Every structure is written in structure tokens, then in C-alpha cells.
Amino acid sequence: MARSLETAGADALLVTKPANVRYLSRFSAPDDGAVLVVPGVGATLLTDSRYAAQAADEVGIPVEIVAGIDDAVVARLAGGRGRLAVEGDHVTVSRYRSLAERLGHEPALLGAVFSELRVIKSESELAALRRAAHLTDLAFTAATEVMAPGVSEVTVALVLERTMRQHGADGPAFSTIVASGVRGAMPHGVASNKPLAAGELVTLDFGAVVDGYHADMTRTVAIGQVGAEERRMYDAVLEAQEAALGAVAPGRTGREVDQVARDVLAKHGLEQQFTHSLGHGTGLVIHEEPRLSQKSDTVLRPGMVVTVEPGVYRAGFTGLRIEDLVVVTESGSEVLSKSPKAFLAL
């Protein structure tokens, strides 16, 4: 970070992207805070009086209670007392212009300066992700106990979310996906009021958040008996997913792992129905680096966390996906998602 500031000719960095604010400070209300980083001095959380007690309880860096974040930054740096840098991928145009006018200089725009820091998880981060994955597994078990013909997708989603919260989750990692029957052809089919019906596949994509860290898992189950084609599709996706899991290891690129899954689906004539990338990183946000995709040259390293989630989708018929949360280790990988993946008919 210090090198980035030096290259930009800046003396301080204002961090406003919520995930980065939380990463630096552990503050659980990062939308209402910012971190000012000054090389040689350190990082300070800036927030307002509503969060004084919360910040004192949570934050591991100095805290300054201010009436206005930008006012405090300007007071420190205006009048030639230092040049500011901001996160170019987050600051708004209006905020940038306001800071430039008040500071008397245009802030330097830094790129994704925290991507490289956040992509390798610490042991404490991995512990939070393991706990989040465990709560996600508990929720899947609870959902399978209520899924039956006539039960709505929304009801299933509520069971998933309630179970995760009851066991200590901060909340759901994203809008819970429950997509049954023909709705399964929508990769992001958020739960609707549609009732489950016998003979349908149901895709559940959901995750718990623990200490700000997001789990992500997908399972597809059947309501009663399904047709031979649905079962063929399921078996092919499971084969592709298991093959891709076996390919996750240090030194492999995201592109290489993605291709393993595509090759399996091609063998079954389903590669054209796999319409998204194989996976993504997760952590303080649900989608972050690294990516497992046809375009990703990122080399996997120990401590990276990724999803592995092949799927096939046939409009007007059905679709399905199987997803696990995975940590790259020194010797290969550790799968955090423990819910069974063998074909399940309820």
C-alpha cells in the first residue's frame, strides 16, 4: 500500500469501500465509516457519534469520532499539507469533485489496492468461513425436511434463512435462490411464490454470513421421481463438479480448472448449456477474486477461497447446479461444504 501511494505521489489514502473498511478495522457498519491510512502513522477509523460504542467494542485500530468524514480529511490535508488518494473503483464522481475543490488538489485515483491483500485468507478469516459453511449445511438439512409438493419456494427460503440466523449467522449471504421446475433454467432464480411440484428438480443456492464472511453453496434435489433426462443432467453436472474439485490446487490457473468442468460436460453433450463461469472467490463480499473462468489467468495459491459450481440450464425445461466452497491448500484443496451431493429424491 505504501508503494502504491508513493507511486501515485500521495501522502494518505481514504478507504471508503465497505469491504475494505471492514478488512482494515473489523468495523461491522462499514457503510458508515471510512479508514484514513497514512504511511508511517497508521490507519484510523473515521465514523460518527452513532457508532462510538460499537466502534469501541469492535475496532482494532484507532477510532476518531467526527461530524463528517470528508470534513475531517480536508481538515488534515487542505492547504498543501499532503495529497490525498482515494479508491478509484469506489469513489463517486460527485464526492471526488467535492474533495478536489475543498483540498485544492485532485486526489490520486488508486486501483483495487486491497485485492491482493484480501485474496489470501488468514487463519481467522478461514475460521469464519468454515463456521459460515457449517451453518449453511445445517440450513440445507432443515430445508429438506420441509420440502414437499405444495410448499412454496419462498417457504423453503425462509427455512434456510431462519435456520442460519438461529445458529448464529449474521444473515444470508445474498438473496436466497430456490428455483423449481422450469424456473431452474434461471441461474439466479430468487425464491418465488411458486409451489413445489412432484417430478421437479429444485435448485437451492444460499449461504450464511459469519463475522462478515460469506459462504456459498448450491444443492439440487428432486421432489419425488424425475425423468431420465433430468437424472442424466444431474449425473453429468455432479461428475463435472467432482472433476473440477480434483483440479483445484496451487499452481493451476482459474482457466484450467474451469476447462476441466467444461470437458466433462462436453462429453455428455451439455457444454452449451453451461452458461456461466465455474466459480468465484468469496470473503467479505460474496463475489470477489479469484475467478475460475475461461478468461482467468490467476494462479491459485494456498489460502485462496473459491466456489466450484458447474450447472446446466435448458429454457422451458429445467436446470440445475451443484456448488461447494473450497480452500486452496498447500497440497490441493479442502472442501468446506459438507452437505451430501448424491442424487436426492424427497
Note the pLDDT tens digit of each residue in 262-308.
999 999 999 999 999 999 999 999 999 999 999 999 999 999 999 99
Whether the upstream peptide bond of residue 290 has omega within 30° of 0, thus cis, is yes
Q: Which domains does the chain have, with CATH numbers?
A: 2-113 (3.40.350.10), 119-335 (3.90.230.10)
Please state whether beta strands 311-314 and 305-308 pair in parallel, antiparallel, or not at all (unpaired).
unpaired
Q: What's the pLDDT at 243?
A: 99
What pLDDT, on a 0 to 100 scale, did the predictor assign at position 223?
99
Q: What is the pLDDT of residue 40?
A: 82
Nearest C-alpha neighbor of 6 from the set 110, 102, 79, 78: 110
| Residues of the chain falling short of pLDDT 70 | none
**What is the C-alpha to C-alpha distance for residues 13 and 19, in angstroms, rounded to an integer?**
15
Q: What is the pLDDT of residue 60?
A: 92
Backbone angles phi, psi at 44, to 5 degrees: -130, 130
Res 8: pLDDT:
83
